[in-house]
């Protein structure tokens, strides 16, 4: 595996592959890698000739008083895992190179970014799309691989790529979970031993609710209200949202139909967790 830290090095590392017309799969990460990230790399390895995995904690997607400084970082372990699952190139760009002094561009998808997670994190998705638009233009991969756990981000990214006309395919990879159903996330390390089973109840309750929504499709509001109560009773400290939405527009839907997504964001202690289940 080749390790590069600048766009110039990245260009040189990919030059021969581009000459030969090889496909390039790109996996963006913020490090603190877990099996969910590794599944993205493995899927890219299966489908593309060359796999580039980036490790970059993007400062633009963190709001005031969020966990940018404390976000887990372990470069040596992350690089070992990238190599283990077959990444060809690990790219570790710096914020100074991607966002040099005087950088003033913002790329945003306002409507999709202002709902759900965007209500409590109003600058988050603009930070993601500003970073990713620049990276996708610099890297020009064949495809970018994103996990379904961050479902709103996936929808926003698809819209950004479409609206900018970028020749990149956005490929979704199913959520990877612990044995108890908890969606893998770098922020799971923030959970205490007592909070861990509470966090795991999120997926169980979402799964039960989808069953109800299928059988009681006209009772969406009542099912969601009951679901919010169940989450609090399970020990969740706060339900930021629990909604049934259209999987492309993220608009709330009054009746469950095939392809809808049940999406949730909750607080367990100080840890913010998100998850979703297809209906």
- In this structure, are strands 143-147 and 24-29 parallel, antiparallel, or unpaired? parallel
What CATH number does the domain containing 38 carry?
A: 3.40.50.620
Q: Known binder of ligand: residue 147?
A: yes
Side by side, the strands of the sheet bearing 261-268 are 238-245, 261-268, 271-278
Q: What percent of the chain has pLDDT over 70?
A: 100
* Predicted local distance difference test score (pLDDT) of residue 271: 96
* pLDDT class of 216 with cuts at 50, 70, 90: confident
Helices (H) and strands (E) in the chain, counts: 10, 9
Considering the domain architecture, whether residues 32 and 55 belong to the same structural domain is answered as yes
The yes-or-no verdict on residue 189 having pLDDT over 80 is yes
State whether 161 and 226 are in the same domain.
no
Residue 217 has pLDDT above 80, yes or no: no
* Residue 113 assigned ligand-binding role: no
168 and 40 together in one domain:
yes
**Which tens digits make up the pLDDT trace of 105-161?**
999 999 999 999 999 999 999 999 999 999 999 999 999 999 999 999 999 999 999
Residue 80 marked as a ligand binder: no
Tokens at 131, concatenated = 């970073």
Q: Dihedral sign, CA of 196, 176, 232, 215?
A: negative
> Buried (b) or exposed (e) across 98-122, using 16+ Cβ within 10 A?
bbeeeeeeebbbeebbebbbbeebe
CA 179-170-99 angle, to 5 degrees, is 100
Residue 164 sits in the same domain as residue 34:
yes
**20-36: per-residue pLDDT in tens?**
999 999 999 999 999 99
pTM of this structure: 0.95
Smallest CA-to-CA distance from 185 within 121, 271, 62 is with 271
Query: Does one domain contain both 200 and 230?
Result: yes
Is 187 marked as a binding-site residue? yes
> Band of the pLDDT at 259, cuts 50, 70, 90?
confident
Residue 110 lies in a domain: yes
- Pick the catalytic residue from 10, 37, 45, 199: 37
User: Distance between CA atoms of 261 and 35, rounded to whole angstroms?
Assistant: 23
Q: With contact defined as beta carbons under 8 Å apart, do 164 and 133 qualify?
A: yes
Residue 94 lies in a domain: yes
The domain of 256 spans 186-273
Annotated ligand binding at 185? The verdict is: yes
Q: How many domains does the chain have?
A: 2
Q: Could you give the residue ranges of the DSSP H alpha helices within the chain?
A: 7-19, 35-47, 75-84, 95-98, 110-113, 117-120, 124-139, 151-164, 196-215, 220-233
Using CA atoms of 211, 214, 215, 219 in order, give the dihedral in degrees to the nearest 10.
Answer: 100
Last residue of a domain, one of 116, 142, 173: 173
Structure tokens at 127: 């930070």
**Rounded distance between C-alpha atoms, residue 53 and residue 229, angstroms:** 40
The answer to whether 31 is annotated as binding is yes
Identify which of 106, 1, 19 has the alpha carbon closest to the alpha carbon of residue 55.
1
Residue 179 lies in a domain: no
102: Cα separation from own chain's centroid: 28
- SS3 label, residue 268: strand
Residue 61 shares a structural domain with residue 136: yes
Does 84 reside within a domain?
yes
Window from 2-11, 46-55, 58-67, 195-204 with minimum mean pLDDT: 58-67
The answer on 203 and 134 residing in a single domain is no
Residue 180 belongs to some domain of the structure = no
Q: Check if 237 is active-site.
A: no
The structure tokens listed for 199 are 């966090």
């Amino acid at each position: 595996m080749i390790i590069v830290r600048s766009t110039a090095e990245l260009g040189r590392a990919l030059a021969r592959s581009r000459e030969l017309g090889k496909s390039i799969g790109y996996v963006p990460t913020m490090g603190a890698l877990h099996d969910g990230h590794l599944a993205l790399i493995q899927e890219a390895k299966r489908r593309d000739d060359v796999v580039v995995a980036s490790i970059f904690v993007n400062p633009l997607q963190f709001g005031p008083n969020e966990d940018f400084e404390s976000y887990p970082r372990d470069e040596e372990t992350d690089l070992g895992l990238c190599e283990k699952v077959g990444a060809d190139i690990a790219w570790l760009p710096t914020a100074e190179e991607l966002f040099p002094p005087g950088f003033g561009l913002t790329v945003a998808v306002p409507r999709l970014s202002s709902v759900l997670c965007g209500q409590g994190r109003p600058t988050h998705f603009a930070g993601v799309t500003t970073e990713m638009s620049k990276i996708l233009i610099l890297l020009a991969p064949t495809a970018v691989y994103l996990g379904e756990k961050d479902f709103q981000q996936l929808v926003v990214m698809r819209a950004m790529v479409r609206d900018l006309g970028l020749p990149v395919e956005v490929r979704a990879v199913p959520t990877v979970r612990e044995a108890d159903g908890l969606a893998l996330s770098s922020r799971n390390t923030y959970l205490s031993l007592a909070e861990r089973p509470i966090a795991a109840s999120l997926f169980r309750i979402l799964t039960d609710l989808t069953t109800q929504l299928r059988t009681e499709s006209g009772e969406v509001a009542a099912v969601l209200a009951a679901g919010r109560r169940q989450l609090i009773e399970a020990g969740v400290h706060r339900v930021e949202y629990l909604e049934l939405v259209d999987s492309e527009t993220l608009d709330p839907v009054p009746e469950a139909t095939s392809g809808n997504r049940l999406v949730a964001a909750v607080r367990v202690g100080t840890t913010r967790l998100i998850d979703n289940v297809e209906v």
